Amino acid sequence: MKRNPALKALSIDHHHGLVLAHKAKKAAAQELSGNELQAVWAQLQEHADAVLAAHFEIEESYIAPALSACGDPHLDQLVDRLYKEHASLRSLLSPDSNRSTANLQTLGELLERHIRFEERELFEAAQTALDEDTLQAIATACDVRHNG
């Protein structure tokens, strides 16, 4: 299915996220240590602060409540997964998390899996189930985030 224009900005975020997920998995496979490992973590943290925080906020403030309001058990499962995976990603990116090679691998795998889930399932459901006003509100929130 073609992506609704209201969700395109979030899909562009996903592209950048997939690049970083691949970089994290590659760095973990190379078993980087010391400064190199911390540099990859720093890049992921920068992306989390600059993009993921607002991205998650839009999904949790607009998409999740609107899907939950539909009263469809399948949509509720998608929303539950969204929240659980966001919580796991936030935990891995927390300043208190262990910035190890193993956690870098876990983060890369989870980020990739989460993005694929959103693109293939969550966004497909959203553009089918949500009305035009809700989709426009999502697009507006994305515009405000990008144009500040």
Mean pLDDT of all residues in 41-66: 95
Maximum average pLDDT range among 37-41, 84-88, 141-145:
84-88
Q: For the segment 18-32, what is each residue's pLDDT rounded down to a tens digit?
A: 999 999 999 999 977
Each residue of 98-135: b (16+ CB within 10 Å) or e?
Answer: ebebebbbbbbebbbebbeebbeebbbbbbebbeeebb
Mean pLDDT of all residues in 125-140: 96
Mean pLDDT of all residues in 100-113: 96
Give the span between the Cα atoms of 82 and 124, in whole angstroms.
Answer: 14
Mean pLDDT of all residues in 118-126: 97
Quick check: 110 pLDDT over 70? yes
| pLDDT score of 1 | 63
Q: For the segment 61-103, what is each residue's pLDDT rounded down to a tens digit?
A: 999 999 999 999 999 999 999 999 999 999 999 989 999 999 9
